[in-house]
């Protein structure tokens, strides 16, 4: 995409990473936080426009951030991270959590609230969703 998207993603990654690292509630609950960003590829954008029969103005995920948390005291085998071009919007990743995952879910929604509080609200569109939590 454009260099302005790249600079916006980079500055937002740094800002969010700093905000989460300094968050008192997260201290002692997570070992690490990793913020990544991406721009949707031209091909993926075109495919989405074809699939939804819409113009580029209706594609709301041209840029995206992903926050991966490593909670304290969790000894699970690591799952591979989801692909950057993953367009799932049905919440499949958030299903099937046990009671043991309540703290991890709280971590995910706390981070989501921090991220949403530092950015303008997303457009009201049924395809515009946030994926939380996807526990690894």
| Collapsed DSSP state (helix, strand, coil) of residue 105 | helix
- For the segment 100-116, the average pLDDT, to the nearest whole number, is 85
> Is residue 38 pLDDT above 70, yes or no?
yes
Whole-model pTM? 0.62
- For the segment 92-97, the average pLDDT, to the nearest whole number, is 47
- For the segment 27-41, the average pLDDT, to the nearest whole number, is 89
pLDDT of residue 16: 92
- For the segment 45-69, the average pLDDT, to the nearest whole number, is 91
Q: Which of 21-25, 37-41, 62-66, 96-100 has the lowest mean pLDDT?
A: 96-100
Give the separation between CA 97 and CA 23, rounded to whole angstroms: 25
- CA atoms within a 13 Å half-sphere pointing along the CA-CB vector of 21: 10
Q: Band of the pLDDT at 117, cuts 50, 70, 90?
A: confident
Find out whether 70 and 32 touch, Cβ atoms under 8 Å: yes
């Amino acid at each position: 995409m454009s260099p302005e998207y790249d600079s916006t993603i980079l500055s937002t990654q740094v800002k969010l990473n700093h905000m989460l690292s300094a968050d008192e509630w997260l201290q002692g609950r997570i070992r690490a936080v990793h913020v990544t960003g991406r721009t949707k590829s031209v091909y993926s954008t075109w495919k989405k426009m074809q699939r939804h029969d819409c113009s580029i103005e209706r594609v709301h995920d041209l840029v995206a951030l992903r926050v991966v948390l490593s909670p304290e005291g969790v000894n699970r085998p690591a799952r591979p991270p989801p692909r950057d071009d993953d367009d799932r919007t049905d919440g499949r990743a958030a299903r099937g959590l046990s009671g043991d995952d309540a703290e991890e879910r709280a971590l995910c929604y706390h981070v989501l609230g921090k991220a949403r509080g530092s950015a303008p609200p997303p457009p009201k569109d049924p395809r515009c969703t946030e994926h939380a939590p996807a526990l690894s």
